[in-house]
Amino acid sequence: MLIKILDKEFRPYISSERLAQEIKRLAQEVEQQMQGKRPLFISILNGSFMFASDFVRAYQGECEIAFVRFSSYEGMQSTHKVKQLLGLPKDIAGRDVVVIEDIVDTGNTLEEIYNLFADKQVASLRIMTLFFKPEAYKKNLPIHHIGFSIPNRFIVGYGLDYDELGRNLPEIYQLNIENMKNLVLFGKPGAGKGTQAAFLKEKYGLVHISTGDLFRHHLKNGTELGVLAQSYMDKGALVPDEVTIQMLQEEIEKNPNAAGFIFDGFPRTIAQAEALDAFLASKQMNISATLALDADDEELIKRLVERGKVSGRSDDQDEGKIRNRFVEYNQKTAPLIDFYKKQGKYHPINGIGSIEEITQRLSKVIDVL
């Protein structure tokens, strides 16, 4: 049975009975490691409070427990970095500590936990998490006890929340992706893709992924993928599709609670479309529709020339260059039109009219997907 929390739908994922079985197994596993010792369990709030409570009840040996939470504030402003554990017992030197986490995804919080305990002189430090997302994990830090390894998709319940709601659910629910809307947005230069993407993003709670913006971000910040892309560009070579797909993958994994995605600027070739389909299929997702903003070339040329007067972009002021861009677009896009038509996902949209009229035309298609 689906449940709705705020604007999202969730489906049953892990039952309370299955949670109890796994917690019992974890308790026995930790008991074997702690024979003859009295561990100090440290539950990281808020998410792990239900897990910690049930775990301690299942644990048969002597133990102590403390409940702590992170602080990331200096004054009234968040530093976006974990600074301290509030509620940590003052004297834990020589203790065998087991940290109880609800979920480990990227590992950023886990890294801070290790840093915070580095100078505490504990006898041993072990990490236990009820949920682990291996696809999202970016660190090389040990996790000693894992309950469930799960896909990188948003979950709620049993202490985990969505915008502070859902913690009291006795089982785990997973974001329902059957109604996820993943859109490919086509359009010649000047067709208004960026404007419409901004409206659709807000209206449907989608994440707008522009490959142009992605490349600029990675190149500007010198990320690993940005450096790799730059190495090809420096040689005058095209950046391989695999690199672009990895950028898309990172962006999708950053947004596990998204209602869907708008892909803008990708795919541009059949090979890229096939690679995107394969990647989404690995995430149990797919393209819902491709929306193509159709507009008369002469009308678009007028738009671009006017835009060029404001932006100062030379390629928007030279009519010859504009027409060449249209020719290149037609050559690249024509095969993709056939590709998505065969899948029954191609939807041409009249791109002439007011912004509001075009948004309504797009929405009419999206609403019946």
Annotated binding-site members for ATP = 190-195, 307, 353
* The amino acid at 320: G
φ, ψ at 333 (rounded to 5°): -85, -30
> What's the token pair of residue 355?
């912004």
Q: Are 227 and 174 in contact (CB under 8 A)?
A: no
Q: Within 10 A of 199 (CB to CB), how many other CB atoms are there? A: 16
* The amino acid at 164: E
Q: Are 356 and 190 in contact (CB under 8 A)?
A: no
Query: Catalytic residues, which ones?
Result: 193, 268, 307, 313, 325
How many angstroms separate the CA atoms of 277 and 297, rounded? Answer: 30
Q: Are 122 and 93 in contact (CB under 8 A)?
A: yes
Helix or strand (DSSP H, E) at 189? none
| Alpha carbon distances (Å) from 326 to 120, 211, 304, 334 | 64, 19, 12, 12
How many angstroms separate the CA atoms of 222 and 229, rounded? Answer: 10
Binding residues for AMP: 211, 216, 237-239, 265-268, 272, 313, 325
Would you give the DSSP letter of residue 314?
G
Q: Are 193 and 271 in contact (CB under 8 A)?
A: no
How many angstroms separate the CA atoms of 14 and 334, rounded? Answer: 45
The SS3 of residue 291 is strand
Q: For the chain, report the end-to-end CA distance as a whole number of angstroms.
A: 21
